A and B are shown apart, each in its own frame.
Chain A
Amino acid sequence: MRSIRQPSVLPGFALTFGFTTFFLSTIVLIPLAALVLMTASMHWHEFLHVVLSPRALGSYRLSFGASMLAATINLVFGFIIAWTLVRYEFPGRKLIDALIDMPFALPTAVSGIALTSVFAENGWIGSYLHTLGIKVAYTWVGVTVALTLIGLPFAVRSVQPALLEVQRDLEDAAETLGAGWFYVFRRIILPTVLPALLTGFTLAFARAVGEYGSVIFIAGNLPMKTEITPLLIVIRLEEFDYKGAAALGFVMLVISFVVLLTINLLQAWGRRRIVAVSH
């Protein structure tokens, strides 16, 4: 242990570091290795046959398409809600601020059945949309609604602290000098919050792609149409097709790894920008 760490008077490094790495390996790393090994034990064409099957491609289209759409909706409404909470005082503001985290705390099965009953044809909102000819529950629209709810706190909580940092005297100065609101938004507000907006977008997207519980109730779960990739994995596992399930899981893992990398790069970019602005 001595060789990898710098000396310190504090005790317990061997104990805590040993326990941490042991527990991390047992719970996280070995199971992950099992997934990678299971995929690696497949033939190339077997792997491609599974991950490029029409049913798999249909599930990617829905999972990634709906997640992208939901993250975009969250980008817009997350900004509006964060702006409202940061800039305006109104009755119930603190309550609403606290409730933004509800989708974090609420079990996904609960939000799934609750959203389904609200957006079903006879539901509170679904019945109005039905008279307008819009079907939400059991369609891709319903999938998008569920994924939007799941991603909302990520978007709002990313943008909120960045909005607090916008220098309001700069806005005032710009307005005094005759700048229109759009100019102020584009040249003062947007540059400050852009990294946070993109981080919120990516986090919401990453969470949405893997989401299972809240989606399966509101989606129709029809192959090629309303079947998300995580559900296809579950179906493969129920058929005891472990390799097929592992291959699909591997594809999703690679994509979430790329997304994570993007988040880290975005945050590094945001920090550089803030340093550059303050100098």
Chain B
Amino acid sequence: MAAGTHALGLEDLDTRPGRDTIVSSLVRWSFIGVSLAFLAALLFAPLATVFVMALQHGLRAYFHSFSDPDTTAAIRLTLLTALVVVPINTVFGLAASWAIAKFEFKGKSFLITMIDLPLAVSPVISGMMYVLLFGLHGWFGAWLQEHDISIIFAVPGIMLATMFVTFPYVARELIPLMQQVGNDEEEAAMTLGAGAWITFFRVTLPKVRWGLVYGVILCNARAMGEFGAVSVVSGHIRGLTNTMPLHIEILYNEYNFVGAFAVASLLTLLALLTLIVKTLVERTGYRRR
């Protein structure tokens, strides 16, 4: 039997014209070769170099770099930022997708475009907008100084800038997904007497859970890794307003390569973890729309 199916498979291949010639396998292997060479130079070599540089003076030096109080402060601030920003943007994503997918109203496509807008704006401009609002010479700068409130060059500015750049991530996963699964089950639940929150948690949420996971992990990766927007509003005060990506820049410019790449290695591991979760979610049959 096995031999029979095998022969059938070969025959099937043979019936496709041009699949068995030397030229076609040459083409095939040159495509694979060019792809791998391109990715090796541009993607795999930089990924490997992060760990090679971080470990160039051995494991002891690698772990020692995390005992620097400025480094631990940067890690803490990055975690804190993600802890504040990701839940807020998740709630926003759920609210926006409920309003947009469950109801018909005027101006809907304009609203969707506005939600996607932060993706099209340069990170530097994202940070700058908050400087123009809250910076010393910004619209509210004088008022904030009078009342002794600091937003720019302080943690609130970092949170705001991060919130802006990660704003669309959850919403843009959930909106098309909720639109596709439709309202029938929710309407049935409501008609049968379920309350609004019960309907949301027991009917809607399970249907969109993989899209939600997908959006949240991408939102988190961007929140922890954002550089440009945060760089503009942070002021780079060591131990106070330095996130992990900003701390990488400071260590790198001081030629502390082990330290810089050690912090970078943590963020690289986070990125790998994000890709693994993303791949697992896609295995469940979830497709991006």
Contact = CB atoms under 8 A, between A and B. Distances in A.
Nearest to A214: B227
A217 interface: yes
A213 B230 CA distance: 10
Most buried by B among A4, A5, A113, A181: A113
Contact of B105 (A17, A84, A206): A17
A152 B104 CA distance: 37
Q: Summarize B's interface: helix, strand, loop or mixed.
A: helix
A88 B268 contact: no
B43 A212 contact: no
A2 to B, nearest CB: 10
A28 B35 CA distance: 39
A159 interface: no
B64 interface: no
Nearest to B51: A114
Contacts of A209: 122
A106 interface: yes
B207 to A, nearest CB: 14
B95 A118 contact: no
Given A10-B186, A108-B228, A152 B99 contact: no
B132 interface: yes
B17 A175 contact: yes
Contact of A256 (B47, B98, B121): B121
Interface in A9-45: 9-13, 15-17, 19-21, 23-24, 27-32, 34-35, 37-38
B114 interface: yes
| Chain A interface main SS type | helix
B232 A237 contact: yes
Nearest to B261: A113
A82 to B, nearest CB: 9
B128 A233 contact: yes
Contacts of B31: 80, 83-84, 87-88
Contacts, number: 279
A242 B131 contact: yes
Interface stretch (B65-73, B142-150, B270-278): B270-278
A102 B225 contact: no
A102 B273 CA distance: 11
Contacts of B163: 27
A242 B138 CA distance: 8
B103 A31 contact: no
Interface in B180-227: 183, 186-187, 190-191, 196, 199-200, 218, 221, 224-227
Contact of B190 (A11, A34, A213): A11
Contacts of B244: 107
B57 interface: no
Interface centre among B38, B136, B164, B270 (most CB of A within 10 A): B38
Contact of A206 (B120, B249, B261): B120
B18 interface: yes
A212 B17 contact: no
A152 B44 CA distance: 13
Contacts of B190: 9-11
Contact of B46 (A115, A181, A234, A242): A115
Which 4 pairs, one residue from A and one from B, show the smallest C-beta to C-beta distance? A210-B122, A107-B225, A213-B227, A31-B129
Given A240-B136, A252-B122, 15 more contacts: A10-B103, A24-B111, A34-B138, A77-B35, A81-B39, A88-B32, A105-B275, A109-B245, A109-B249, A110-B268, A210-B125, A212-B124, A237-B135, A242-B132, A249-B128
Interface of A: 4-6, 8-13, 15-17, 19-21, 23-24, 27-32, 34-35, 37-38, 77, 80-81, 83-85, 87-88, 90, 96, 98-111, 113-115, 117-118, 123-125, 145, 148-149, 152, 172, 175-176, 181, 206, 209-213, 217, 230-231, 233-234, 237, 240, 242, 245-246, 249, 252-253, 256-257, 259-260
